[in-house]
Amino acid sequence: MRLTSKLAFSTLAFGALVATSCNAGTNVGFGGGGGIATSANTGSTTDAGTSDATTVTSTTTGFMTGAASTGTAGACNVNDPNVDMDGDGYTPAQGDCNDCDPNVNPGAVDVPPAMGMMPVNSDCAATFDPPQPCDDNLVLDSTNAADAAKAIDLCKTSSGSKDWGLVGAKWVLADGTPPPTSATQLANFHLGHGILPQFGANIKVRKGKKMLALSSGTARNPTDPGYMNVSGFSKGYTSGSPGGFPKESPACPGVTTGQPHDSAGVELLIQTPTNATGIAFDFDFFTYEWPNFVCSQFNDFFVALLTPFPMGQSDGNISFDMMGNPISVNNAFLGVCGCTGGPPCQAGGKTFACALGDTQLIGTGFGKDTAGQDHGSTGWLTTQAPVKGGSQIHLRFTVYDSGDGILDTTTLVDNFRWIATPGTTVMTNPTPM
């Protein structure tokens, strides 16, 4: 048991999406800014050796859309409206307004405009549909798991297998099992998720009006109803680990992480747009375990699990630091911190530069304790990962204590968005401010 030492101390936002005209355009982009659409009239050579070309034109409604060719033998479009020439799952009879571009169809997502460019209407609707947040009226203590999706700006609900958006949402423990059934434990579980307009004095939302907080303690500001001090609140239940966990940090040899306690999580089932190549989201990890229990069994975690697993990965975890460590007390991104006489600060035999200072901890409960010791966070980070367009994915966010249920950990999640840039890889990096 940790005694003296411990007592001392859950419709959609879009990223930069890429759209190309029929065999002619190229594009790059990632994140929350916008996308670039380019086109050319030179066409490309098909397998049959013939040439096809499509011009991206401006319409009177103020967006760009693919204007299909009239169709000749061997071209990408033919006169039969029931033939799906671009293989995107939609025929012209089913609403495909450009059957020579697989990124343009009713199952795609519209592309926000880049600076100096017109928006691209990829979903063949009558108007361009700019992303709109849907979190304005969400309440702090909602027990509807679908509200967790709205809080991170995943707003659109799927209406069927060919319509992208949220298919389902459920609250889960770290291993994906349902929450505890005991009335007391279930009430404590629901304290572990919250929808916040800000966190502390200085942490603002990344998009919209609210963000999702998940906590092994209470996902609340210290001034919110239901808050319990992050230095000592145990919710009284355990669970199994997420698939592929526990993972031990190479920086902490010989250390074995303890069993998950007090986990809180949400799992989202999502139908991806046909033109999506990836997802991205922002998160900020706070832990009271820093600095006193770095490289110990009390290695609290934030885990983001994506299924199907990204290619080349042995499990679905997609959030980790630049050294491949999962997001835990030991991770190398922990840069919001402070110590007496520092920074740099020493903890668990490791040096932390605390390059972001400690002002982001003010008013969060993770700032200076009664002994004047700061605890720590990563600051906002961005994870991206590849997905297959026109398919279903499971995305689970979870946090948990390890080894016992005190000294809590909280993670903020916001600004979910789609990527349509080819070659998306799994990575986590500091979020540009």
Identify the bridge partners of residue 400 per DSSP, sorted by sequence position.
301
Q: What is the DSSP letter of 180?
A: P
Residue 229: both structure tokens together: 């001090």
Structure tokens at 381: 């980070």
In sequence order, the β-bridge partners of residue 238 are: 261
Q: What is the pLDDT of residue 402?
A: 93
Give mean pLDDT, residues 22-34: 33
The pair of structure tokens assigned to 197 is 């307009």
Residue 31 has pLDDT above 60, yes or no: no
**Among 19-23, 316-320, 382-386, which stretch is predicted with the lowest mean pLDDT?**
19-23
Q: How far is it, in rounded angstroms, from Cα 47 to Cα 96?
A: 23
Amino acid at 161: S
On the question of pLDDT at 332 being above 90, the answer is: no
Mean pLDDT of 28-36: 32
Cα separation values, 177 from 139, 172, 258, 314, 331, Å: 25, 5, 19, 21, 26
Specify whether the CB–CB gap between 85 and 92 falls below 8 A. Answer: no
**In the structure, what pLDDT confidence band is assigned to residue 35 with cuts at 50, 70 and 90?**
very low
Distance CA 385, CA 277 (A): 9
At residue 194, the pLDDT reads 98
Cα gap 424→420, rounded to integer Å? 8
Encode pLDDT of 255-313 as tens digits: 888 999 999 999 999 999 998 999 999 999 999 999 999 988 898 999 999 999 999 88
Confidence of residue 28 (pLDDT cuts 50, 70, 90): very low
The pLDDT mean for the chain works out to 82
Q: How many residues does the chain have?
A: 433
State both tokens at 415. Answer: 């600004």
pLDDT on residue 54: 29
Closest CA to 329 of 429, 383, 252, 384: 252
Which residues make beta-bridge pairs with 278? 386, 419
What's the pLDDT tens digit per position in 190-229? 999 999 999 999 999 999 999 999 999 999 999 999 999 9
On whether the CB atoms of residues 306 and 348 are closer than 8 A, the answer is no
Sequence-distant (6+) residues with CB within 8 A of 247 are 257, 317, 325, 326
So what's the pLDDT on residue 266?
98
Cis peptide before 343 (omega within 30 of 0): yes
Dihedral sign for Cα atoms in the order 271, 277, 282, 285: positive
The predicted-structure confidence for 140-188, as pLDDT tens digits, reads as follows 999 999 999 999 999 999 999 889 999 999 999 999 999 999 999 999 9
